Structure 1
Amino acid sequence: MKILQLKRKQNTPFISDTGSSHNNAVLIVSGIENQIIDKHLRVRFLVFNSIDDLDKKPIDTGFVLSFDMIDTTDTIIHPDTKEVIKWGKPNYIDVLALFNIVDDGIILTSVQAEAWLLNGIEFKNEALNQNWEF
């Protein structure tokens, strides 16, 4: 199980909106809103210059993941090879099986959760796995 923190891959600096290059940028869970009765989970991510700069201003507003019981899609898997053709979006209950919410963020509970996050989530118009890693 891994805590949900992503860093930039080596030799792929994060370019902020100001045009600055950040070689040690990290993508961190900055907020979690879990509406249990409404079955709606929101997870906010911010980008910081480095893991040592979490007490400073973020360098990018990041993105928000939102899960409920309505806005969902199935993951499409090739029947023969079992390879993922297209990543879906889990519902509220399913995503709670992928994440453990703890005091300092989220822990991913499986390799499947890691694969879904890196391959199925886009940030700045590209899958996270293009430039980010655990």
Structure 2
Amino acid sequence: MELASLLIEIVVALLILIGASFTLLGSYGLVRLGDLYERLHTPTKATTLGVGSLLIASGVYFSWHDQGVSLHEVLVALFLFITAPVSAHLIAKAALHQRTPSRSGLPPDNLLEKHDGHGTDPIDQAKP
């Protein structure tokens, strides 16, 4: 029993270190990256992985000590993994709509026009 408890604590400690490292890396990237489009990657990638591993660590710990499955962490992780990409997509779409500049420049206007149902889609025309 003592060895199993020690292994669980080691796994939880490693997951906490991994989660804290990813969260720190995501926060650092949020501060250091240059424009809005680059900054969208850190909260949706590194920080999501960081919070996800912290939630897994919490679920493992409380499932082991309470002798039952801890579903709170699973629900929070599910909510996080669904909402983070959707919110990043909406922020990027709003930035494109407002013509927010990036380091690499904006796409041409004909790529941002809305398809009116007549003829071909401007986005399809730009593809090789």
- TM interval, short-chain normalised: under 0.3
TM-score (norm: length of structure 2)? 0.23
Instruction: Give 1 or 2: higher helix fraction.
Output: 2
TM-score (norm: length of structure 1)? 0.22
Structure whose CA Rg is larger: 2
